[in-house]
Amino acid sequence: MSIRVFNTMTGRKEEFQPLEPGRVKMYVCGVTVYDYCHIGHARANIVFDVVYRYLRYRGYEVRYVRNYTDVDDKIIKRANKQGISSHELAERYIRAFDEDMAALGLAEPTDQPRATEHIGDIIALVQRLIDKGTAYEAGGDVYFAVENFPTYLKLSKRSLDEMQAGARIAPGEKKRNPMDFALWKAAKPGEPSWDSPWGQGRPGWHIECSAMSTVLLGESFDIHGGGKDLIFPHHENEIAQSEAASGKPFVKYWLHNGFVNVNQEKMSKSLGNFFTIRDILKKYDPEVVRFFILTAHYRSPIDFSDQNLKEARAGLSRFYEALHAADEALEGCPEAEQSSDEGAKLAETFCQAMDDDFNTAQALGHLFEGARALNRLLGEKKFRKKADKVAAARALRDTLRSLGGVLGLFGSDPGAWLRQRNLAGLSELGLSEEDIQARIEERLQARGDKDFARADQIREELAEKGVELLDTPQGTTWKVR
């Protein structure tokens, strides 16, 4: 089965056929580095990290470019307010971004260019647009003339006439049409600037991505990704600049992820529901956050809440419990001479889901089915004496780990992860490991005294608090439900 992707440009799913067989060129808009990243940034980056991982799993050679916007109005404003240079501020938040993405388990892209490293490429692209008559200089600024690009707004499906009717030219702007946008901005006091044919200045936001993507991937490439909020104006303007300059189609497939709501409301600082990745990781394991993001299809909205994060933690725990049980049950079992097709069946259903526009929610559903099948096998009597069952369990365990890796999941030692999960859960309940161990000892003493009613009472008291006791041949253990 071939991969099908939803192309924002056409508004439908299409069979994925890269421009060059076996090779994929993908560009994803990175962050403007003026502050710490929030949960919306986490979603976009996790989504395209999985696209990157899955394409490689399916055998493609992928060149993945994700940029840093390190010169921009917001950066300059924040730096001036703090009394530091734009470069210093950008460096601070580039480091913070890298730390956050590493914590979330993202694979490093092939290229991570910075806009300031491509000023010469940006100037050359702006000059090319002027030479072609689709851009004009006005008092040191350079603007793109949208009326000279007939297919402007083809991505967002908007009407230029309607948008022009409501647009206004701000005081001090020298553009001819209110919809024209800046390619180059004349220098102002307190701003970083570079020499150009139009005087000292700096690039506009949109031209940066056009220059970086075309220099690294070519004038036409396969996938361009980003959040839905970037469709207009950013991606629309990228298309106009790039295609006006080259005369070629800019991107074959446009992929956009949906928004993150917080407790069913749009996230915003004014509503007080704005959460940085760092805030969230103080409370939740990074893999839980990643798992939560992948429980929804990337194009759908997703609701961020404590309840949904707790449910994600419970769901991820079920996988680690199954893997941990399998590791223990299979330890010492000889490699079976016979093979099992259980793993292949699981991989097939997983790929069917992922081939359908990277449907991670459905793919996780298939992995849950695999974990349940694994638990059933491990629960069979005299499991270790049944060679076919051992082979099937080993195949399911190994395939779960492998396919989880495609999603960036299940990479931790199961025992260590479950212990950390339990400790975090205890902390939320206001309990400590010492508290639980003391109750286990008290229960053990009650059972030794044949006071079974008291022993049962201790179990029930802990259960009411959310702690389940598990009696095993090795002794009593516990877990937070």
Query: Where do the structural domains in the chain lie, given as residue ranges?
Result: 4-266, 283-415, 431-480
* pLDDT given at position 270: 66
| Pairwise CA distance, residues 224 & 419, whole Å | 40
44 — phi, psi (to 5°)?
Answer: -60, -45
Per-residue pLDDT tens over the stretch 431-472: 888 888 889 888 988 888 888 899 889 899 888 888 888 887
* Contact (Cβ atoms closer than 8 angstroms) between residue 86 and residue 33: no
Residues contributing to the annotated binding site for ATP? 269
Per-residue pLDDT tens over the stretch 268-297: 666 777 889 999 999 999 999 999 999 999
| Pairwise CA distance, residues 2 & 356, whole Å | 9
- Give the confidence band of 336 by pLDDT, cuts at 50, 70, 90: low
**Mean pLDDT, range 386-415, rounded to an integer:** 94
* Contact (Cβ atoms closer than 8 angstroms) between residue 1 and residue 351: yes
Q: What is the pTM of this model?
A: 0.93
Residues contributing to the annotated binding site for Zn(2+)? 29, 209, 234, 238
Whether the per-residue pLDDT at 429 is higher than 90: the answer is: no
* pLDDT given at position 332: 77
**What are the CA-CA distances from residue 210 to residues 40, 140, 219, 224, 249 (Å)?**
23, 21, 9, 11, 13
**What are the CA-CA distances from residue 258 to residues 18, 204, 450 (Å)?**
24, 26, 59
Q: Domain 283-415 adopts which CATH fold?
A: Four Helix Bundle (Hemerythrin (Met), subunit A) (1.20.120)
- Give the confidence band of 256 by pLDDT, cuts at 50, 70, 90: very high
Whether the per-residue pLDDT at 339 is higher than 80: the answer is: no
Q: Domain 4-266 adopts which CATH fold?
A: Rossmann fold (3.40.50)
* pLDDT given at position 477: 83
Residues contributing to the annotated binding site? 29, 209, 234, 238, 269
Angle at 315 between CA 310 and CA 319, to 5 degrees: 140
Q: Do the two domains 4-266 and 283-415 of this chain adopt the same fold? A: no
| Pairwise CA distance, residues 208 & 380, whole Å | 60
